[in-house]
């Protein structure tokens, strides 16, 4: 099993290319199920989750071709991929595929809208109730779907097409907004989604669907209106740059010190997080085709954060910001309001010498003047990269195990950081 070795202490200087957003690419790929024409997506990142979704879509009969790679970049960076779902051969998404990636459950919306039926495994075999899939089911039922849950599968039917309706999300859900918006594009009549997610990835999907012939207004606001159409066509669309990768590398520069340009990054996609980072004493500025991040020698100021749906501070940057706060000059409070059990990285940061105490959904981080390298274990995608950030500033050697978590969401992380002066390498078993 691969691991990543880091020797801390080097400043970061140079340029880091920001890849296409995984969280945008996945729903865009799933949208290919809505049409029998080809959908071409530019700037698709080369990640484990993308490859897994390609396999899942292939199970439904989707063919794909890779037409090239991003200009002036190395082999393996973001690609242009064309998906063709001319014929859906299977409307079942089996447990052995869905259990590996929760987002694959989202195929239920396009399959139901186009084929009138879908049989999709509950992700991870989870139970209905407090789990997020209840929002998907309630929303699809509001559009007229008949849904049963049997033997760990959600079985959905809409024999005479879905019917537009008004649906109010009881809580903001990016995934459920993706699914209901896709399903409503082929429904009869008008659908109004209220308390919808406002994330840039939702806007990116809506723009793609409009390019395919959908009629959507209000994406990026809490109310999205969709006028159903008979069929969608093919299109060519670009995946937005990854705001979570952008924020992660910005925090890495803040932690290690240095001066780095994040190429292709967009400030508007994560303004709140960058404003928060600026409060730590890090300089953030827009430059041509990117964002410049600088911290030269000064200490890190402590800042309190609360995770919120967009445009608030992203939950997907919470672990990285905690890694940064471990060496702040004072105490900071980090409150997680989106997901339960998302402080699994705390014990691993403590192995590096961090002082963190937990009080419910709040972590109190008492900054220390030095961290010391140690072997640590990645527990999930975002937690794993928080350990990398801490390791960049820790004295001596840090080894991060279980880096397959990193490969799910960060394209060539060690190459991008080493290109800016970090001592970091992947060690294969």
Catalytic residues: 126
Spatial distance between the Cα atoms of 142 and 165, rounded to a whole number of angstroms: 6
134 is in an annotated binding site: yes
For 211-264, the three-class secondary structure string (H helix, E strand, C coil) is HCCCEEECECECEEEEECCCCCCCEEEECCECHHHHHHHHHHHHHHCEEEEEEC
174 is in an annotated binding site: yes
- The H or E element that residue 286 is part of is strand 283-287
132 is in an annotated binding site: yes
243 is in an annotated binding site: no
131 is in an annotated binding site: yes
Q: Where are the alpha helices (DSSP H) in 81-221?
A: 95-98, 108-115, 133-142, 174-184, 200-211
Burial class (CB in 10 A: 0-12, 13-18, 19+), 370: exposed
229 is in an annotated binding site: no
171 is in an annotated binding site: yes
Contact assessment for residue 410 and residue 385, using Cβ atoms and an 8 Å cutoff? yes
- The H or E element that residue 4 is part of is strand 3-7
173 is in an annotated binding site: yes
316 is in an annotated binding site: yes
Spatial distance between the Cα atoms of 314 and 9, rounded to a whole number of angstroms: 28
303 is in an annotated binding site: no
253 is in an annotated binding site: no
100 is in an annotated binding site: no
Strands of the 235-238 sheet, one edge to the other: 63-69, 79-84, 38-44, 235-238
Binding-site residue set for UDP-N-acetyl-alpha-D-glucosamine: 102, 131-135, 171-174, 316, 338
Binding-site residue set: 22-23, 102, 131-135, 171-174, 316, 338
Binding-site residue set for phosphoenolpyruvate: 22-23
């Amino acid at each position: 099993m691969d691991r990543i070795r880091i020797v801390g202490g080097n400043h970061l200087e140079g340029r880091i290319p920001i890849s296409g957003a995984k969280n945008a690419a996945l729903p865009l790929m799933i949208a290919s199920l809505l049409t029998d024409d080809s959908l071409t997506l530019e700037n698709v990142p080369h990640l484990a989750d993308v490859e897994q979704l390609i396999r899942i879509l292939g199970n439904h009969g989707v063919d794909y071709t890779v037409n090239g790679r991003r200009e002036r970049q190395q082999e393996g960076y973001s690609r242009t991929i064309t998906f063709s779902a001319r014929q859906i051969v299977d409307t079942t998404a089996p447990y052995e595929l869905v259990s590996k990636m929760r987002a694959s459950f989202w195929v239920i919306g396009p399959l139901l809208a186009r084929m009138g039926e879908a049989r999709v495994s509950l992700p991870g075999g989870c139970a209905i109730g407090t789990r997020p899939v209840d929002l998907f089911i309630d929303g699809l039922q509001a559009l007229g779907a008949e849904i049963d849950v049997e033997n760990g599968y959600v079985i959905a039917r809409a024999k005479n097409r879905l019917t537009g309706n008004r649906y109010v999300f009881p809580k903001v859900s990016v995934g459920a907004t993706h699914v209901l918006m896709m399903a409503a594009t082929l429904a009869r009549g008008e659908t109004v989604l209220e308390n919808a997610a406002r994330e840039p990835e939702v806007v990116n999907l809506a723009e793609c669907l409009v390019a395919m012939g959908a009629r959507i207004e209000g994406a990026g606001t809490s109310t999205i209106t969709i006028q159903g159409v008979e069929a969608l066509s093919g299109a060519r669309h670009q995946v937005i740059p990854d705001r979570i990768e952008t924020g992660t590398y910005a925090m890495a520069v803040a932690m290690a010190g240095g001066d780095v340009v994040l190429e292709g990054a967009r400030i508007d996609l994560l303004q709140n997080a960058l404003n928060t980072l600026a409060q730590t004493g890090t300089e953030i500025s827009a430059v041509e085709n990117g964002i410049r991040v600088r911290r030269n020698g000064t200490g890190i100021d402590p800042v309190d954060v609360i995770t919120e749906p967009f445009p608030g501070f992203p939950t997907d940057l919470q672990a990285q910001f905690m890694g940064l706060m471990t060496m702040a000059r004072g105490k900071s409070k980090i409150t997680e309001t989106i997901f339960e059990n998302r402080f699994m990285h705390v014990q691993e940061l403590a192995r590096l010498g961090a002082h963190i105490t937990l009080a419910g959904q709040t972590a109190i981080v008492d900054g220390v003047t030095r961290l010391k390298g140690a072997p640590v274990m990645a527990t999930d995608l975002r937690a794993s990269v928080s350990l990398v950030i801490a390791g960049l500033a820790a004295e001596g050697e840090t080894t991060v195990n279980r880096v397959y978590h990193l490969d799910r969401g960060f394209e060539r992380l060690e190459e991008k950081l080493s290109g800016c002066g970090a001592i970091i390498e992947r060690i294969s078993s």
